[in-house]
Amino acid sequence: MSNRFSDILFQLIHSLEKAEKRHFKLYIKRSSAKEDLKIVQLFDAIDKMQDADDTVLMKRLPSVTKPQLANLKTHLYKQVLASLRLLKSTENIDLQLSEHLDYARLLYNKGLKIQALRILEKAKELAKANQKFNFLVQALSLEKKIETLHITRSSTEKTEVLAKEAMEISGHVYRVTKLSNLALLLYRWYVINGHARNENDEKDIREFFKENLPPNVKEIHGFYEELYLYQSYCWYAFIRQDFLMYYRYSQKWVDVFNAHPLMKSVETGHYIKGIHTLLNAHFDLRNFEQFDITLKQFEDFEKTDAANQHDNFRTHTSIYINSAKINGHLMKGTFKEGVALIPHIEEKLSEYDMYVDRHRILVFTYKFASLHFGNGNYSEAIDYLFKIINGPMDLRIDLQCYARLLQLMAHYEMGNYEIMESLIKSVYRFMAKMKNLTVVEEEMFRFVRQSFGVHPRLLKPELEKFLNKIKHLEKNRFETRAFAYLDVISWVESKVYNKPMSEIIYSKYLKSKRKTGN
C-alpha cells in the first residue's frame, strides 16, 4: 500500500478537480492576508508531489521550519474544506440545509427573531421535500426555542401544530435510527463473517434480527423508513443465503427510489448500492435476462448528472459496474472475455485507490482468480489467491477459506501431486478451524485424496460418483455457498464429460435462455 494514506492533506489535495483547485486559489487570495499566502505555496508543492513525504516537502519550502509546517498543513486543510463548502453548497441538499440553519442561528443571535423564523420555515419546506427529517429535528428545536423564549406574535394554533409536528418527527427519527442501525450491524456481520455457516449462525442472526427490528413494522412509512427496512431484510436474507428473499428486498430497495425519483439525486449513494445489490441477487439466482437489463440500466445511470456529482459516486458506480461485468462472465462461462477485462479494472482500482475499501479489493482479487481458474490459467489464479491468503485475516473469513480451496484445486489441475497431501491437510485444518466445512467440501477433500491412487482409466467412474453425491446438495441453503464461490458442479462435470469448464457453464446459460424463450 502506498504511503499516500499517511497524509490526509495529501489525499484531499490530490482528490481535487481542476475547477476546485482554481476556486481554492481565488478563495484564498480574497480571504487571506499576505502572510497567509504561504499556504498557497504549500498547496502547489503538495499538488506536484507523487507521494506524501515531509522530507521532500521541506526541501521544496526552504523558508518553512518543521514546527511551522505542521501548523501550515492544519491551516491549509481547513481552508481547502472551507473553499469546497463554498463551491459545492448549491450542489448538495445537506449543505444547503446546513447553511439555512446557520443563517437562522446568526439572525437569532442578532435579535432578528422573525427573520430567523422565516428562514427556518423555508428550510423546513426544503427538508420535507427532500425527506431530510434529521434536519427537521434541528430546525424544529431552534424554532421551539425562539417561540418559547420570545413573543413572536405566533398564533396558539401555530404553536400546537409545531408541538404536534415535533412529536411526529421524533417518532420517525426513532424508527429510522433503529432500522439504519440494524442494516449497518447486519452488513458489518457479513463483512466480517460472510454467509451463515450452519444452524447456529442461522439461529444467532435470526434472533439478532428479531430483537432489533422495530415493533409494528406494518406501520412503517416514508422513504427513509422503507429504505432501511428493505436494506435490513436484504442483508438478513443474504447472510442466511435465502437468495429469493434477497432478490425480493433488493428489488424493493430499488423500487423505493423509483417511487421517489427526486431521492436518486438526494441519496445517490444508497441508490448506487441498491442497484449493485440487485445485480448480485440476479447473479446468485442466475436471472440472466434480468441481470443484463439491470446492468444496462446501471450503465445508463452512470452517464447521468446524479452519478457524476461527486467523486465518491463516480468511482463507486464504475467499481460496481465492473464487478457486475465480471459476474456476468463468471455465470455465463465466458472466462476468456472476463480475463481480458482484468488489466483495465486493475488500472481503475489503482486510479481510485484512495476511495476503494479493502473489502472491495479482496472481492475483486477473488473474482480475478476465479476468472483465471475458469479459463485454465491456474498459475495466474494462484498468484491472485496468494494475495488473499497472505493478507490480513480480519475480513471475510469465508473468502479466506475458499481462496485456499480454489488454490488446492488449481494445484490439482496443474498436476502438482507432490505438494497435494500436505496442502490438503493444511486447507482442511484451516477450514475446520474456521468452522467453514460443509458436506460439499468434505466430499471434495475425500475425492481429491482418493483420486491419487486411482488409475486414470478408472477416474471417470469416481468423478461420476462424486458428482452424484454433491449434485443433490445444490438446493440446500447451507451448501449453496460452495457452489456460488467455486461452481464445483461445473468443474466436476468438465472432468466427467472431458470438456472445458467454460463450455460446461456456457451450455447451461444457453439452455436457460432457450427455456425463457430469449
Average pLDDT over residues 292-308: 93
Long-range pairs for 64-67: beta carbons < 8 A, 24 or more residues apart: 64/38
Whether 174 shows a pLDDT value over 80: the answer reads: yes
DSSP symbols for 329-341: HHHHT-HHHHHHH
What is the C-alpha separation between 380 and 126, in angstroms, rounded? 54
User: Sorting pLDDT into bands at 50, 70 and 90, what band is 231?
Assistant: very high
Nearest to 235 by CA among 186, 270, 304: 186
Residues 216-225 have pLDDT tens digits of 777 777 899 9
C-alpha cell recorded at residue 139: 430546525
Q: What is the torsional sign of CA 491, 494, 497, 503?
A: positive
At 429 the three-state DSSP class reads helix
C-alpha cell recorded at residue 47: 499538488
Q: What is the torsional sign of CA 245, 248, 250, 253?
A: negative
Whether 74 shows a pLDDT value over 80: the answer reads: yes
What is the C-alpha separation between 201 and 186, in angstroms, rounded? 13
What is the C-alpha separation between 156 and 351, in angstroms, rounded? 59
User: Sorting pLDDT into bands at 50, 70 and 90, what band is 5?
Assistant: very low
Predicted pLDDT at 6: 46
Predicted pLDDT at 296: 96
User: Sorting pLDDT into bands at 50, 70 and 90, what band is 4?
Assistant: very low
Residue pair 462/432 in contact by the 8 Å Cβ criterion: no
Predicted pLDDT at 474: 65
Residues 25-62 have pLDDT tens digits of 888 877 766 556 788 888 988 988 888 888 888 888 88
Predicted pLDDT at 346: 92
Predicted pLDDT at 366: 93
Predicted pLDDT at 1: 35
Residue 440 burial (CB count, 10 A): 22
What is the C-alpha separation between 472 and 117, in angstroms, rounded? 68
Residues 453-486 have pLDDT tens digits of 665 566 777 777 777 777 766 666 555 556 667 7
Cα Rg of the chain (Å, integer): 28
Phi then psi dihedrals of residue 175, to 5 deg: -65, -40
Domain with CATH 1.25.40 in the chain: 352-518
End-to-end CA distance of the chain: 46
At 104 the three-state DSSP class reads helix
Burial of 194 (0-12, 13-18, 19+ CB in 10 A): buried
Q: How far is CA 475 from CA 91, 236, 440, 482, 513, in A?
A: 48, 19, 12, 11, 21
Average pLDDT over residues 243-256: 95
Amino acid at 471: K
Mean pLDDT is lowest, of 331-335, 458-462, 494-498, for 458-462
Average pLDDT over residues 91-118: 86
DSSP symbols for 441-485: HHHHHHHHHHHTTS-GGGHHHHHHHHHHHHHTTTT-TTTHHHHHH
Predicted pLDDT at 454: 63
Amino acid at 125: E
Residues 383-432 have pLDDT tens digits of 999 999 888 777 677 788 888 888 988 998 888 878 888 888 888 888 77
Would you state the CATH architecture of domain 352-518?
Alpha Horseshoe (1.25)
Higher pLDDT: 183 or 161? It is: 183
Higher pLDDT: 404 or 451? It is: 404
Predicted pLDDT at 156: 58
What is the C-alpha separation between 144 and 167, in angstroms, rounded? 12
Residues 347-371 have pLDDT tens digits of 988 888 777 888 888 899 999 999 9
Q: How far is CA 402 from CA 5, 300, 367, in A?
A: 30, 34, 11
What is the C-alpha separation between 369 and 382, in angstroms, rounded? 7
In sequence order, the 6+-apart residues with CB closer than 8 A to the CB of 194 are: 396, 397, 398, 399, 481
What is the C-alpha separation between 289 and 298, in angstroms, rounded? 14
Return mean pLDDT, the chain. Answer: 84
Residue pair 235/183 in contact by the 8 Å Cβ criterion: yes
Residues 119-152 have pLDDT tens digits of 988 888 888 888 887 788 888 888 877 777 765 5
Burial of 245 (0-12, 13-18, 19+ CB in 10 A): middle
Question: What is the enclosing helix (H) or strand (E) of 212?
Answer: helix 199-212
Nearest to 437 by CA among 445, 373, 408: 445
Residue pair 196/177 in contact by the 8 Å Cβ criterion: no
Question: What is the enclosing helix (H) or strand (E) of 488?
Answer: helix 488-496
User: Sorting pLDDT into bands at 50, 70 and 90, what band is 494?
Assistant: confident
Average pLDDT over residues 220-232: 90
User: Sorting pLDDT into bands at 50, 70 and 90, what band is 3?
Assistant: very low
Higher pLDDT: 290 or 435? It is: 290
Q: How far is CA 404 from CA 323, 401, 427, in A?
A: 22, 5, 6
Higher pLDDT: 277 or 474? It is: 277
